[in-house]
Amino acid sequence: MFRHVALFRFTAESTDAQRRAVIDALHALPSTITELRAYDVSFDAGLVEGNWHASVVADFDDEEGWRTYTADGEHQRILAELIRPILAERAATQHTV
């Protein structure tokens, strides 16, 4: 199995509605990207000051499945229209599980 983990820190100016739109849009991706085997998109629970605001954990059969997800048109649209305009920082890793 191949795993992708991404963490997002949004700008201070971003609104709750903008942040919710990101999460909602990402939640819809498994219905169109069949390579996704498991997919969790969540806001941080807010228990520790300084944590990242949201995370994505996505599992695929292999690296090729991740590459398909990364290149997917709807995924790219979400990145361009919803995430990047309010993104302060992003961290990510991909690894074999």
Among 27, 28, 10, residue whose Cα is nearest residue 19: 10
The sheet that has 38-43: what strands, in order across it?
38-43, 54-60, 2-10, 87-96
pLDDT at residue 65, rounded to an integer: 98
pLDDT of residue 90: 98
Pair of tokens at residue 29: 């991706």
**Residues linked to residue 2 through DSSP beta bridges, in sequence order:** 60, 96
**Domain encompassing residue 53:** 2-96
Q: Each residue of 42-78: pLDDT tens digit?
A: 999 999 999 999 999 999 999 999 999 999 999 999 9
Q: What is the CATH number of the domain that holds 62?
A: 3.30.70.100
- Beta-bridged to residue 51, according to DSSP, are none
Query: Dihedral of CA 88/35/23/85: which sign?
Result: positive
- Count structural domains, the chain: 1
The mean pLDDT value of the chain amounts to 98
